[in-house]
Amino acid sequence: MPLWLEPLERLVEAGGVILVVIAAVAMVLFSLALERVWYFRITYRRARRALVRRWVLRQDHLSWSARTLREVWTRELIARLRRPLPWLKLLVALCPLLGLLGTVTGMITVFDGLAMSETSQARAMADGVARATLPTLTGMAVAAVGMLFTSRLEHIIRREDQRLHDRLARAVEDTDA
């Protein structure tokens, strides 16, 4: 077996194939999280500045149609910031379920092995139970970190929605003064 596959082999030995699936879900989850950080720090800020400039350059700021246009523009920008949130929430919810699946399949393997040997080896059973619960621990750990990021992202989105409205109102006041 190639040297680079050795950690994957040890992962499968420790917790089963489900542990590899949880690791893959975690990689997708954290990749989406890093993409959102990158998007917020670079792309979103540029788009926000462009939106404020576009709003300031308008002649009309007070009519109903101007305020509606401002609301549409801000909703579009915030919607782009919010776009991957449902996927992040889905992946976070999936992790504990995958961990539970790993535990159940691991316990079935333990009991199957005990039934085949027809001896009640407490040591083998304890080792098998410890190995079977590893996917649950991993799934819960990944879900907890994912939940922290998701809740932080939701907080940032709410804050940015309010700040964007405030910036647009202030930009108009600054140009009128």
Q: Which pair of structure tokens corresponds to residue 128? A: 């098998």
- Helix (H) and strand (E) counts for the chain? 6, 0
Q: What are phi and psi of 82, to 5 degrees?
A: -90, -10
The domain segmentation of the chain, as residue ranges, is 3-176
One digit per residue, pLDDT tens: the chain, 177 residues? 688 878 777 777 777 788 889 999 999 999 999 999 999 999 999 999 999 999 988 888 888 998 899 999 999 999 999 999 999 999 999 999 999 998 888 888 878 777 777 666 767 677 778 778 889 999 999 999 999 999 999 999 999 999 998 888 887 776 665
Q: How far apart are CA 5 and CA 57, in angstroms?
A: 58
Taking only the tens place, the pLDDT of each residue in 135-159 is 999 999 999 999 999 999 999 999 9
Q: Which pair of structure tokens corresponds to residue 104? A: 């159940």
Question: Would you call 8 exposed, middle or buried from its count of C-beta atoms within 10 A (0-12, 13-18, 19+)?
Answer: middle
